[in-house]
Amino acid sequence: MDPNRRAFLRGRFLKELARRRSAALLPPWAVEDFAVRCTRCDACIAACPERVLERGAEGYPELNVRQRGCTFCGACVDACEPGALDGVRGVEQRYRAKIGPTCLAVRAVTCRLCELACEPDAIRFSLQRGGVATPSVDGSQCTGCGMCLHVCPSHAISLEERSG
């Protein structure tokens, strides 16, 4: 029996999924000294029309794109009076998508939902001889919006912080 299938049946897959979901992501346009500037007033959370910002464990707003993605509308920036979110000084594209080993296409099952959901066309599939097309993420095109996360049936996509 496949060890991944055995882990799934024993609930280890669910534990891994919960661990990945618990990793806190800063809101878009968070400035470098976000934790110092943020007063935890929840104004940005209330202003977010997509409802992708939520109160985190320590009271700071966190980005949660598991149900829908961020459109980068800037409503959170407009609502942030202390300047913890700044459309000019902040980093809008803080994250990029990463496709993990539980991806159906990686496991030779045809699925291209993430490619269809990716508006900037950062996720592309390369045809493989005698196999299923495999996904790759173009880091220069990915905005880190998270639109691909909630459509993935195997929860194989996560957001990781950009390096450099």
Domain ranges in the chain are 1-92, 94-164
CA distances in angstroms from 158 to 82, 131, 143, 145, listed in the order given: 30, 24, 13, 11
**For residues 144 and 15, which has the higher predicted lDDT (pLDDT)?**
144
Whether residue 2 is predicted with pLDDT greater than 90 in this model: the reply is no
Whether residue 13 is predicted with pLDDT greater than 60 in this model: the reply is no
pTM confidence score: 0.77
Segment 108-120 mean pLDDT: 93
Confidence of residue 88 (pLDDT cuts 50, 70, 90): confident
Q: Of the candidates 97, 90, 74, which has an alpha carbon nearest to the alpha carbon of residue 145?
A: 97
Fold of 1-92: Alpha-Beta Plaits (3.30.70)
Q: What is the pLDDT of residue 21?
A: 45
Q: Which CATH number fits domain 94-164: 3.30.450.80, 3.40.220.10, 3.30.70.20, 3.40.50.2030?
A: 3.30.70.20
Q: What is the pLDDT of residue 18?
A: 44
**Average model confidence (pLDDT) across the chain:** 85
DSSP-derived letter for residue 163 is P
Q: What is the pLDDT of residue 129?
A: 80
Q: Of the candidates 23, 158, 164, 155, which has an alpha carbon nearest to the alpha carbon of residue 96?
A: 158
Q: What is the pLDDT of residue 43?
A: 97
